[in-house]
Every structure is written in C-alpha cells, then in structure tokens.
Structure 1
Amino acid sequence: MTQVFDGAAGVATFVAVLDHPSGSRWFHVTARGIAHTTITPERAVCTIVDITDERREQQRHRHDAEHDPLTGLLNRRGARAVMDRVTDTAEGGLLVLVMAGDLDGFKTANDRFGHQVGDQVLTETAARLRQVMPPDASVIRLGGDEFLMLARCAEQSDAERLADAVVADMQRPFQIGDRRIAVSMSLGLITAEASGIESIGTLVDAADRALYEAKSAGRACWVSAGQ
C-alpha cells in the first residue's frame, strides 16, 4: 500500500494473512491509487479476494506429496527440505545426528502374517520412533522397512544414548491383534558439527554404510560410522 500512496506504483498487489479462531485465512489484495488534485494518490480502491480454500488445497497437496500415506512420516521428497533445515538451524557447537534404521525380521513377519499385519508393524514402528526421538527431530520413512532420523545433540554420548533407546524400544514385541510380532531394529549413525557439514547427503551415505555393519554384527544393535 505504501507504494501506491507515495506514487511509486499505480497498482499494488499482495497477499494478506489474518489469524482466525478457525485457522488462518488468506486474501489476495489489489490496491489502485486515486488522485484528484495532487500527483500522489489520496485514496485507494481495494479489491479483496478470499483465497483461503485455494491455499489450503495447495498445502494439502504439498503435505501429501511430502509424507508417507501409511505412517504419516516424511517421505524421501519431504526429507530434502528438512535435511537442509537441520544444519541451518543447528546452533554453534551442536552436533547434527543422522541415524539410518532398518527393521530386522520384518520380511519374515510380513510373509508369514500378511501385508496387513506388516503395515500395522510399520505404523507402530513410526509411532515408537516419534516417541523416542526428541520433539524437534525429523523421522523419515525412506520406503519398505527403512527409516532415517535427523536430530541435533550436544555430545556424541547423547547420540549414542538415543541410539540405545531406539534399539531397546524396538525390541519390545508388537501386539497386533492376538499376535505378538517380534522384530528389532539395526541402526547406523554418524554425528558432525553443523558448521563443518558440506553435504548432508554424505552423512546419510555414511550412516547407511554403518547400518549394514550393524546388520552384519548381529542385528538389534547400532554402529557409529568411523568407529
């Protein structure tokens, strides 16, 4: 609007967002200056269009595109944005933790009890990971029974305690109806100072290699890359 009244622009368009008890509402505003005796406008005529439904539909499509429909976790596409954000928002001195996880024994359980039971195991796995990981961590389902966790921590020992907690929690049997399904999770992890990270993808690759070491070491355990 300032551009209209100071004469810099005859027409100004912008999107205004208003808070409302039922949720934010978006409006597309077009303002045209009106001048009578002066060069600069004295008044403006505004056209206001409610675009809330359109914005909410865009948000829904974006959410659906970036989240796994079964577990509600971020998917590979959604992971791209958080991978950059986890390094950008890490304060000086904090470590970025990347953990790659894979369920042990899931294929056997899925083949024996069927895909419906397998889907419930994956859904419960997602719920457990959300509960164990810090509130500001990102939990991602890469596909199948593969998961990725991104978090920030102060010390390497904090990352290791978190890995211990994930492995321990995943060893509890899953109660699916009248069946007790025994699976576990192997983890590969790596930490790095945020300021020294050139590519988060490099850390993901390192965590993935450590994961396969954990699988080879007997499963239901974690291996830290470089150790």
Structure 2
Amino acid sequence: MFGYLDTEIAGMLDRSPASVGQLARRPRYRAHPRVRREATERFVSAALGGDIHALMEILAPDVTVWIDGGGVRQAAGLRPVHGRENLAPMIEREILWRLITGEQGVLVRQIGLADSRLTQIGRAVRFIRDHFTDPLRVEDLARLAGMSASPFHRHFRAVTAMTPIQCQKHIRLQEARLRLMSSTEDVADIGHAVGYDSASQFSREYRRRFGRPPGADAARLRTADGDVFQRLESV
C-alpha cells in the first residue's frame, strides 16, 4: 500500500501487520492506477504537511463507516455514518482527542497558545514547508518566529529534533521520493525540482536517507505498487 510493506505501515499506525494487510486487500472496487497515484500524492502531501482538512478531503464523498456508541451508548450497537461531510468531523475530533490525551498531550496543548514556543517554531516550520525549494536563511526564520538566531536554533531543535537545514532537507527528500514513485521524471530533474543544484549531492543525500540511490529506490517503490495492484485484481 502506497509503496510500503505491511509491516512498515503497521509500525506507523500502531496496528498489527495482519490488520493492515486485511485493510489493504479489501477494496470496494479496483481504482485506476492514475486515480491511485493521485490519491497517494494527496495523502502523502497532507500527512507530511500536517493538514488535517486536506487529509479528510481524500475520503470518498459517499463513504460509509459503521461505528459504535463510543462508550456513551453501550447498548446502541453499531450504526452507519454516511458521507464525508458527516464522517470527517468525527475523525478530526478523534485525532485531536488522541493527541491531547496522549503522551505528547502537554506539548500539543501548548500549540494552542499564541505566545508559546511551539507556536513560534510552528510558524517557522510552516514557512520551510511552503518554501522548501528556496535557499534558507536561519536569520529570516528567527525573525519570523520573533526570536534572535541563537535561541531560535536551540528551540527549533528542541521541538523538532532537527536543525532548520535538516528539516528542509527532510521535506525535500520526502517530496523527491513521492515524485519518484508517482512519475517518470528523470532523477536529476526531480532533484532540481525539489531544490538541489547538484545531482550528485541529491543522490548522495537521498541514499543516506533511504538506503538506496534514487533510481533504485524508485524502481522498488513502483514494483511494490504494481504488486499491490495485481493482488487487488486477484481478489
């Protein structure tokens, strides 16, 4: 699914590989490869960007999910929820509730405070995400966050576990991997499109991040995607 092994997705979602495999192999219909590719691009873009509303837009307009009472009406049994417009708010509330009550709940609550360090660093992260192909100046990011350069660098690393440059590189490489998986563009062209002036530097950093050169990794991802489609066709 999306070019990842079931075990990899299971680790991301904290589910068992068996349950992930079951979800991946129970489609309501066989989507055209172009539709699957577009859905993959939208999903990865929304997930990496943290845009929960864009993530909900990926739901099919006529989606139906059977839910229980959530512990409120234990005897009510299962009931259907029809339509994206009805289901999306419920999913958003569930995601936010899990974030607030989870291990990182204190940090998540701080994000809602306009003057918190997390909010200030969040502005810088959004700027990097929106301008990841452009040259990066830490001084400009610090000014955007309302800090001087030295405290900004320290707080940025404390929040993201990365430096601003490493954050930009992470976003560039993730975008490059998505393009490699979903298009037939030349590797050098993709490297240039995500902000690399040097094809050799792009290849070197890509291999360090994902364990394979861009071309070899793209071939593996496309093969995995094709295998999933073949399995769906056989269902």
TM-score range, shorter chain: under 0.3
Give the structure with the higher percent strand.
Answer: 1
The normalised TM-score by structure 1 is 0.26
Q: Which has the larger radius of gyration?
A: 1
TM-score scaled by length of structure 2 = 0.25
